[in-house]
Structure 1
Amino acid sequence: MEFLLDYTIQNVAMGAALLGIISGVLGSFAVLRKQSLLGDTLSHAALPGVCLGFIIAGTRDMGAILAGALITGAAAALFMLVLTRNSRLKTDAGLGTALSVFFALGVVLLTFIQNSGNAAQGGLDSFLFGQAAAILRSDLWVMGGVTVVALALVVVFWKEFKLVSFDPVFARSLGLPVIALEVALTVMIALAVVVGLQMVGVVLMAAMVIAPAVAARQWASRLETMVVLAALIGMASGILGAVISALGRGLATGPLIILAASAAVIVSLMIAPGRGLLWEAMRQAQNRRRLRGARVLTTLYRLAAHHDNPDYPAEEAMVDAYHGVGTTRVLKRLEARGQIKQVQHAPEMTPHWVLTPSGITEAERVLSELGKQEG
């Protein structure tokens, strides 16, 4: 465990943890507002800000670069809001337009810088994919400050943000400044993007904003729980990616953080209680078994009613022919429930089945519900 005492690894792990916390908390609001593409737009829109910050500062000054990224990210968000509110464009179209325009501008500025001959430009393109190993302790103070400010704003305006995320129309009827709150949330997500630029880069930052929130959404039915879980999942993903990167030679930290967060999403989608795909598959299988049992039970009931004999012994082969498939397993399950029983019917030696009193009651209940649905 000596590698945990390494100065660089400590910086990377703490930076990844801060990134995970702020991304998880703010990403939850983006997911609930159905603006999953917002993180992608803001992260790509940060590139021209990175370039402008470098041009103004004349060197790779982290404060100038992050300030530029925040300004252009916020500008892209405002550009998207103006487009969607003053035209027929939907939110996804507005986000896509803002992403394309600002990222194209960023590529142009990056090309201009690379051709300018400025010796300080070296490594500037690392903001595309991140360079976690270059994080300094002073950068952590900046990231920590941004994270604290963002979380403090979420706490102060918790009720307002919650209402705007779930029912903006009702929030507007209460007199809340919905547009201002939406702008504030968007700018805060831009803050999260700024925090993660050096860690995971422009290209991958979108996944960090969305993945922890998506994973947490599978486990939580309340916003409070979702936000806390998203922060924990984001923090755990960041630290896990940083540790794996430290253990493996030549493994990039940013992509590993994203892979860890993506793994959390996949696991959550598969096994989350009540929402997981495995649980859904089990429910569907159980419903199919229940439906097959109800169909076979009502078949036996109708045969008994047709012969005017509640103890009519229905031959298993007859039931199979009626349903077109083998019904042995279904009949055994009904027998285990005490709804039918097997009898002998001389001179035939093949299995015959008779409804029990509980089976008659259940069949009548099923047929009554079907009658109500048809009526």
Structure 2
Amino acid sequence: MTILDWLQDYTIQNVVIGAALLGLISGVLGSFAVLRKQSLLGDTLSHAALPGVCIGFLIAGTRNIGSILFGALVSGALAALLMLALTRNSRLKTDAGLGITLSTFFALGVVLLTYIQGTNNAAQGGLDSFLFGQAAATLRSDLWIMGGITVAALGLVSLLWKEFKLVSFDPSYAASLGLPVVWLEVLLTVMIALAVVVGLQMVGVVLMAAMIIAPAVAARQWSHRLEGMVLLAAAIGVGGGVFGALLSALSRGLATGPLIILSVSSVVIVSLLFAPGRGFVWEIVRLRRSRRRLRYQQVLTTLYQLAAAHADSRYRSGQGMIDTYHGTSTQRALRKLHRRGYVVRHAAPPEEPNTAGQWVLTPAGIHEAERILDSLGREAL
């Protein structure tokens, strides 16, 4: 099969388009969940969709994607309302409310799924694929439903962008402006349930939580503004979804849903490691630079204090004495100070030929040491 034939394959086209739609809606809506510190919300709503899948099947009597997705949406919305009611009208914290909702709805879904599997309905075949997804079974009619949900969700985000932004960052201030904070939170939560519905066919109930959170977490490491974060999360979601789908098509045998999640998760790992200003590697580099800067400042102020104690700005401090004072070798710090023109090195005196030499502050070094000590004094105040 040539590349052109491969790209024109009906199943591959459906899977790639479905993965792109899933990544798009997940990246956009997941950004608000991450900012609202409700990362567990995606996990809760995805597991809560299972009873809706089963009820939709029982009502339709067949594996009709429309009724199943509608049932999943209703179930997810009910779970969202239950979670909000528990956290707002009781002493339960958000994580406890999410945990109770998740376990209750998922347990109900497992019971219903077991009941359906115990019947003699031949149409039940493949219903359990909604647990882990079955992207290859995606039809063009399914894509129209997924596309409609995605367009509706993105349209609402565009229409209520300022309101969602305020509610995500400062709900108290939003309430003081007269905004219906509770209803906006409910709407955001229901929209995340919409994203879950879009992903059921592709990655399933179990893995959908990662698809909601991962693109937003990765984008958060690179952007300091909500607009940039949402756009980048959408791009990561689409890119990871398409790459995972294509990788699955090439491998011929590996599940599409897990490969999509692994693709997006790899971006998260790279972002956590290398994102400028926030990445783990960047933090290590910054910490090492700070330590080196602190060390050379300490050595510089030590030379200044020794000169002040001897009332001689040209006082020569021996290398060994400085090392003893700091309890470690200061040769690297002194070399850096020398390169910057803060100190000059004098050869060891004839009576001490085996010493490492002596160091004297320059006028620039005296000025820099006074600046450092002055700033430390202001911080102490």
Interval containing the TM-score (normalised by the shorter chain): over 0.9
Select 2:371's aligned residue among 365, 368, 371: 365
Select 2:123's aligned residue among 81, 95, 120: 120
Matched residue type, 2:360: V
Q: Any stretches of 5+ residues in structure 1 without a counterpart?
A: none
Quick check: 1:249 aligned with 2:256? no
In structure 2, the partner of 1:78 is: 81
In structure 2, the partner of 1:213 is: 216
1:313 CA drift (Å):
1.2
1:249 CA drift (Å):
2.6
1:374 CA drift (Å):
2.7
In structure 2, the partner of 1:224 is: 227
In structure 2, the partner of 1:285 is: 288
Tell me the C-alpha RMSD between the 2 structures. Answer: 0.9
Select 1:18's aligned residue among 21, 30, 36: 21
Task: Using the TM superposition, name which of 271-280 and 324-333 deviates more.
Answer: 271-280
1:373 CA drift (Å):
2.5
Alignment of 1:129-168 (within 5 A): 129-168=132-171
Select 1:306's aligned residue among 302, 306, 309: 309
In structure 1, the partner of 2:323 is: 320
Select 1:50's aligned residue among 42, 49, 53: 53
1:44-101 per-position Cα deviation (integer Å, ceiling 9, x unaligned): 0000000000011111000000000000000000000000011001111111110010
- Partners of 2:6 and 2:256 in 1: CA distance: 15
Select 2:360's aligned residue among 348, 354, 369: 354
Quick check: 1:182 aligned with 2:191? no
In structure 2, the partner of 1:63 is: 66
In structure 2, the partner of 1:110 is: 113
1:345 CA drift (Å):
4.1
- Partners of 1:199 and 1:345 in 2: CA distance: 75
1:238 CA drift (Å):
0.3
SS at match of 1:341: strand
Q: Are the equivalent residues in 2 in contact too, given 1:313–1:345 (CA < 8 A)?
A: no
- Partners of 2:296 and 2:159 in 1: CA distance: 55
SS at match of 2:345: strand
- Partners of 2:227 and 2:208 in 1: CA distance: 24
1:302 CA drift (Å):
1.2
1:183-214 per-position Cα deviation (integer Å, ceiling 9, x unaligned): 11000000000000010000000000000011
Q: Percent identity?
A: 70
Matched residue type, 1:92: D
Matched residue type, 1:355: L
- Partners of 2:97 and 2:111 in 1: CA distance: 21
Q: Any stretches of 5+ residues in structure 2 without a counterpart?
A: none
- Partners of 2:344 and 2:269 in 1: CA distance: 45
Matched residue type, 1:202: V
- Partners of 1:310 and 1:43 in 2: CA distance: 71
Matched residue type, 2:376: L
SS at match of 1:342: strand
SS at match of 1:199: coil
Select 2:237's aligned residue among 234, 237, 241: 234
Matched residue type, 1:55: L
1:23 CA drift (Å):
0.3
Matched residue type, 2:316: P
Select 1:172's aligned residue among 151, 175, 184: 175
TM-score (norm 1): 0.98
SS at match of 1:219: coil
TM-score (norm 2): 0.97
Matched residue type, 1:32: L
Task: Using the TM superposition, name which of 275-284 and 15-24 deviates more.
Answer: 275-284
In structure 2, the partner of 1:340 is: 343
